[in-house]
């Protein structure tokens, strides 16, 4: 039970890096001496020190000249296998070996080819005991975005939309008409701060003129991605402002102008979802929220290219409208968000 408690603390620390460390994984670490946590840390920002470095530094700062002997008597818990390669920072496996910690508890292995068991192997070769699989499922769930990018070579895909109680997504004339309430809107802005990118189609951009920023939440803005085949969106629309990086996927133009990147996709009539995801993967985009419109959402649903769906259902009923996308499975959970119900789906295929 103690091992699970300490690993849960690693998870609690790791999640603090959400939205800040991509395309790296979120990692938390604690160091325990005589059943007491004496140091902890997490990966706080891409390119900065890893969780193990921050946890060991916390011990060094706390105990000064006594830190070396204390570390040798301590165990270290880390939610993901310590890295074994030089990237933005030196290998964490080497740091653990250097300080001769007594034992290492690892939540789950890292599938990234430069690590993939090499960190554990290096630590074992240097006489330090390693135990793998403490709260493994929770550790895998934490880094579902990272594992999807590494194993499937595409971003983790979150579908999101709002619908009326009787299943309508938008008015027949496609005019703007808010369905969900303020609490749902605030939650959506929180989600935007947690993911790398947000994707919409041209019609959604033309109708709503969205900013796709985190105005109602503290955090970074996601990269805005819009499918605009013929570059029909006017340049004075919000997507062209300087509040966030923007990618315009189109059929004609590849160029960069300030914060706007135009990427030309050949033959957009065929395999468009796959081509979109390929471009986002090339740009190291690890996760994307697809917010609409319904045609774009249905295209990804029909191709089975989604990992999670978050659907708000309002208590409102409309006499008519455009029908919302349909996912042919039961939600994993339903959550009350203000007056709306949020249904969470996971693609198990």
Give the span between the Cα atoms of 345 and 340, in whole angstroms. Answer: 16
- Residue of 4, 36, 44, 52 with catalytic role: 52
52 is catalytic: yes
- How far apart, in whole angstroms, are the C-alpha atoms of residue 150 and residue 158? 17
- Omega before residue 307 within 30° of 0, cis: no
Active site residues: 52
């Amino acid at each position: 039970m103690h091992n699970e408690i300490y690993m849960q603390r690693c998870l609690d620390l790791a999640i603090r890096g959400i939205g800040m460390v991509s395309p790296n994984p979120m990692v938390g670490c604690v160091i325990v001496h005589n059943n007491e946590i004496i140091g902890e840390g997490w990966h706080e920002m891409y390119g900065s020190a890893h969780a193990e470095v921050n946890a060991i530094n916390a011990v060094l700062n706390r105990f000064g000249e006594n830190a070396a002997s204390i570390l040798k008597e301590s165990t270290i818990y880390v939610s993901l296998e310590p890295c074994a390669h030089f990237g933005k920072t030196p290998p964490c496996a080497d740091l653990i070996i250097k300080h001769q910690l007594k034992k290492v508890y690892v939540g789950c292995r890292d599938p990234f080819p430069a690590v993939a068991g090499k960190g554990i192997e290096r630590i074992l070769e240097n006489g330090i005991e390693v135990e793998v699989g403490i709260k493994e499922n929770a550790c895998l769930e934490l880094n579902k975005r990272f594992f999807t990018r590494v194993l499937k070579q595409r971003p983790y895909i979150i579908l999101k939309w709002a619908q009326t109680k009787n299943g309508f997504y938008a008015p027949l004339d496609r005019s703007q008409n808010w369905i969900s309430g303020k609490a749902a809107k605030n939650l959506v802005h929180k989600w935007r701060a947690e993911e790398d990118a947000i994707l919409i189609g041209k019609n959604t951009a033309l109708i709503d003129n969205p900013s796709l920023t985190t105005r109602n939440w503290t955090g970074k803005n996601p990269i805005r991605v819009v499918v605009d085949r013929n570059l029909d969106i006017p340049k004075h629309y919000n997507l062209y402002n300087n509040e966030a990086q923007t990618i315009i996927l189109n059929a004609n133009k590849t160029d960069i102008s300030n914060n706007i990147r135009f990427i030309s996709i050949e033959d957009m009539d065929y395999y468009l979802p796959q081509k979109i995801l390929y471009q986002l993967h090339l740009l190291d985009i690890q996760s994307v929220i697809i917010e609409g419109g319904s045609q774009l959402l249905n295209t990804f649903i029909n191709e089975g290219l989604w990992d999670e769906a978050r659907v708000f259902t309002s208590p409102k009923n409309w006499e008519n409208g455009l029908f919302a996308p349909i996912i042919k499975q039961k939600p994993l959970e339903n959550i009350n968000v203000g007056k709306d119900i949020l249904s969470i789906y996971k693609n198990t295929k």
